[in-house]
Structure 1
Amino acid sequence: MIVLGILLSIAAIGFFCWLLFTLAVFALPSFAGITAGGWAHHTGAGWLGAILIGLVAAGLTLGLGQLLLGLVRPLWARLLIALAFVAPAAIAGYHATHGIVKHTMPSETWQLVFSVVGAIAVGVTAFARVTGMAATGPSIQSPARV
């Protein structure tokens, strides 16, 4: 039974890490949607209105980010747009890693070290996925000259 518990714990941690790395790109749209939904609820839109406003805000944030990454040409501007998506993902990675290591390590110093490493790993993964989103757009090629 102890071995089964250990294997299930490893599988659960692996699943949540996979989920974190997969959904890291959507941290900014999630934050935008939750903020807009909370604002809509507090202004009297009700639960359904708040959910709809939050979903629309999240979708617009993701769509606008992809559109800007596809249209903006200066490298510094593309990096700023990518950083807007990567920063919330890194913060979410820090807190997710800290939540895990808080239960496994007594030393606060090592908790901080592993949390920062987790934030860097999630940030790098989110950056790779964001730049991958920009690279999958339509490519502009000049017509061949005869």
Structure 2
Amino acid sequence: MVALRNFTVLALSAMALAFPTPTPTNEIPALLKRTVSGIAAASCEQIQFTSSEVATAAAVAASRVAQGKAGQIGRSKYPHKFNNREATGFEFLSGCKAPFFEFPIFKSEVYTGGKPGADRVVIGSIKGADAAFCGIITHTGADRGSFLQCETA
């Protein structure tokens, strides 16, 4: 009889723990609170980035910019300022103002350190939790250390 009572108490306790409870909004990661305007799909050489991939990379970049130096990752400390010093300068999307920040973008994954690859998402117009998508740039096909601008949809 005691064993049955213990079993019942344990079974009901396990069920109560299994029911999900809502997460308070103050516990939602900062990444999800970032608003990045002007998101668009982009094409760099043979690589196509969906608007979802661009949005994710841009939101992570904005979140890390908001953290300051503590948010920078990788040997090159991304995101870092992009000074737009290319010979021709880039024509970023309207509504995007300096300072600009670059952050690696990949197909189907988010940069967490290590080799940054050739492609970067550029954000600007940083205001608190908000930023603007400026464009995508790539080292592919550019002179060493330079970038080419990718096409946005």
Fold shared, TM-score > 0.5 on shorter chain: no
More strand by share: 2
| Structure 1 length-normalised TM | 0.27
More helix by share: 1
| Structure 2 length-normalised TM | 0.27
